[in-house]
């Protein structure tokens, strides 16, 4: 069954270009011209992937992404003319997995989606042992590679595919220092060539979900001038 992509874009011409390109790649494409329509479609049937413009009129793309994140952890790619670092970071912090600026090459869009699909297929496809991230008797936190999930006191922590892959990469094995470029190459896969701060944004999001105090992280550690390291407690 083909994967369904929901394209949220208020420009009819761009939406048509994306539809044709994605259908040529074998995707089933649904469309929305505004945030209200997009959220209605997600609530009715969650798609496999989403592409969201940031400038959507009265209710912008940031709000769209945040509301979708309340409903689902599906991969989201921003496609926007806003190329300022602040806009990119704000979009990622809202919950997006990746960011493509306009004007774009169709091949770049399809490459990003193929990479996200690989992440979906392989997020739990590993034989590595589970990793205990926090063994405090009052707070059990485990990266379960068998389930492709993180569990806090036996309950799933809702991570996006990218957040899970980032954590899993740092965990194999724990204690390694990985540079931002190394993480881009292994987690984003498709040779991401944009701002390395995309890694920093996802690390911040990950910390809010797994650290006792995200402001003073004890598990995902920053190694100044080098990158990041996982220190299970």
| 188-to-48, 90, 211 alpha-carbon distances in Å | 18, 19, 23
User: Distance between CA 83 and CA 213 in Å, rounded?
Assistant: 32
Which domains does the chain show, CATH number per domain? 4-122 (3.40.50.2300), 131-230 (1.10.10.10)
CB distance 112 to 140 below 8 Å: no
Query: Residue-wise pLDDT tens for the chain (233 aa)?
Result: 788 999 999 999 999 999 999 999 899 999 999 999 999 999 999 999 999 999 998 899 999 999 999 999 889 999 998 878 888 889 999 999 888 888 888 888 888 888 777 766 655 455 467 888 888 777 888 988 777 788 888 888 888 888 998 998 998 888 999 999 899 888 876 555 556 788 999 999 999 999 999 999 999 999 999 999 999 87
Note the pTM of the prediction, 2 decimals: 0.78
DSSP state of 184: I
- Both tokens of 63, joined, read 């709000």
Sheet harboring 28-32: ordered strands across? 28-32, 4-8, 49-52, 76-80, 98-101
pLDDT for 215 equals 93
pLDDT for 136 equals 77
User: Distance between CA 217 and CA 142 in Å, rounded?
Assistant: 16
User: Distance between CA 53 and CA 7 in Å, rounded?
Assistant: 8
- Both tokens of 88, joined, read 């990119």
Question: Cα torsion for 208, 211, 212, 214, to the nearest 10°?
Answer: -50
User: Distance between CA 66 and CA 91 in Å, rounded?
Assistant: 9
CA triple 194-198-201, angle to 5 deg: 165
Which 3-state string (H, E, C) describes 156-172? Answer: EECCCHHHHHHHHHHCC
Q: For 50, how many CA atoms within 13 A lie in the half-sphere containing its CB?
A: 31
Nearest to 50 by CA among 17, 73, 16: 73
Q: Give the list of residues 6+ apart from residue 1 with CB closer than 8 angstroms, or none.
A: none
CB distance 89 to 64 below 8 Å: no
**β-bridge partners, 99:** 78
């Amino acid at each position: 069954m083909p994967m369904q992509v929901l394209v949220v874009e208020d420009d009819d011409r761009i939406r048509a270009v994306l539809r044709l390109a994605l259908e040529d790649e074998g995707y089933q494409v649904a469309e929305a011209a505004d945030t209200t329509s997009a959220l209605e479609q997600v609530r009715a049937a969650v798609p496999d992937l989403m592409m969201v413009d940031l400038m959507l009129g009265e209710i912008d793309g940031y709000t769209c992404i945040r509301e979708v994140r309340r409903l689902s952890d599906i991969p989201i790619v921003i496609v926007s003319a806003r190329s300022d670092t602040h806009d990119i970071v704000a979009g990622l912090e809202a919950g997006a997995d990746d960011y493509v600026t306009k004007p774009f090459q169709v091949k770049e869009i399809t490459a990003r989606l193929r990479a996200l699909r690989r992440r979906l297929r392989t997020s739990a496809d590993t034989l590595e042992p589970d990793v205990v991230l926090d063994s405090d008797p009052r707070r059990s936190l485990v990266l379960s590679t068998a389930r492709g999930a993180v569990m806090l006191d036996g309950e799933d922590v809702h991570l996006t595919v990218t957040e899970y892959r980032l954590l899993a990469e740092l965990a194999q094995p724990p204690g390694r220092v990985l540079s931002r470029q190394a993480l881009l190459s292994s987690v984003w896969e498709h040779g991401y060539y944009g701002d390395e701060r995309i890694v920093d944004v996802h690390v911040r999001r990950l910390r809010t979900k797994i650290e006792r105090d995200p402001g003073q992280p004890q598990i995902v550690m920053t190694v100044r001038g080098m990158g990041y390291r996982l220190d299970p407690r």
